Structure 1
Amino acid sequence: MRKVIILLFLSFGLQAQVKVGDTLPTFTLKNTNNIDVSSTSFKNKYVLIDFWASWCAPCRKGNKELVKLYKDLDSSKFEILGVSVDTNIEKWKKAIEKDNIKFTQVNDPNGFDSKTAILFGVEALPSQFLFDTKGILIAINPTMDEMNNLIKKY
């Protein structure tokens, strides 16, 4: 009985999960041009971290809404960082082009086993994390209306 409890405790301990009130974790991933992009480069802006993949139908539908949101909001105050967990880089790049995504995109190519997905505790796609201008997590999986209201409030 003790062995089972210990194993369960260890398996839950391995999965990190950011919570509302936590600060934006620091990570660096490659963009579509194979250039490093750091999560720290979005200071003094609202940042939506959007985990997605090219094969995820709800993600692709959500991309359309995010493209519109990005056009509607002031980019000096708001940024979206798309974090793909695609294992196939070419399919990821084609999806970006097809969905007409203009906001920053990076890839962590190990699927749900990627370090960034584990860092955030991503277990399903899409998963979104909204950080305020001080880098504090203010919402997990916010609706479009919630994002608009939170950002326009400040």
Structure 2
Amino acid sequence: MKKIMLLFSLIISISTATAQMKIGDSLPDFQLKNNKETTINLAFLKGKTVLIDFWASWCGPCRVANKKLVPFYNQNKSGNFEIIGISLDIDTTKWKNAIEIDKLPYTQLIDPNGFDAKTALLFGIEQLPSAYLFDESGKLIAINPTLEEISIQLKK
């Protein structure tokens, strides 16, 4: 019986770990805390084109990507476009310091359990940075899109 339970829990954990967003999936509804300790529900994004950007303060490529995303966001924020940064940092102080250093003007959320975080498992995050572009109807239209691909979507 013990072996059966162990096998069952292994199967469950493998199927959970491989869950991942696919093109056409809807933006999941979840709540996370922002860098001001306020719980944010993603419902406020309805009707907007949204880039969900997974990153962490310790991730060098993420920090380089931030330097490109900030001016892109500043150029496009007056339209119907939002970027939501979701950090997989475990240390919230390092995360908040990175937000300040990188001067990230868009919404920053944290799911502080690293790659075991609920959102990381939901989206199937295996590496950072990882980004997901949702259209105005809330459907996933691109995974790890380039800024050019996002610009094309915003012009539609």
For normalisation by structure 2, the TM-score amounts to 0.90
Write the distance in 1 (CA, Å) between the matches of 2:12 and 2:106: 37
Residues 58-69 of structure 1 mapped to structure 2, 5 A cutoff: 58-69=61-72
1:142 is matched with which residue?
A: 145
Write the distance in 2 (CA, Å) between the matches of 1:48 and 1:67: 13
1:13 is matched with which residue?
A: 15
Write the distance in 2 (CA, Å) between the matches of 1:24 and 1:109: 20
What SS does the aligned partner of 1:14 have?
helix
The answer to whether residue 88 in structure 2 is matched with residue 112 in structure 1 is no
The answer to whether residue 95 in structure 2 is matched with residue 92 in structure 1 is yes
Structure 1's unaligned 5+ residue stretches are: none
Write the distance in 2 (CA, Å) between the matches of 1:98 and 1:6: 45
**How large is the RMSD of aligned CA atoms in angstroms?**
1.7
Write the distance in 2 (CA, Å) between the matches of 1:39 and 1:145: 25
2:59 is matched with which residue?
A: 56
Percent of residue pairs identical: 52
Structure 2's unaligned 5+ residue stretches are: none
The one-letter code of the counterpart of 1:57 is: G
Write the distance in 2 (CA, Å) between the matches of 1:6 and 1:93: 39
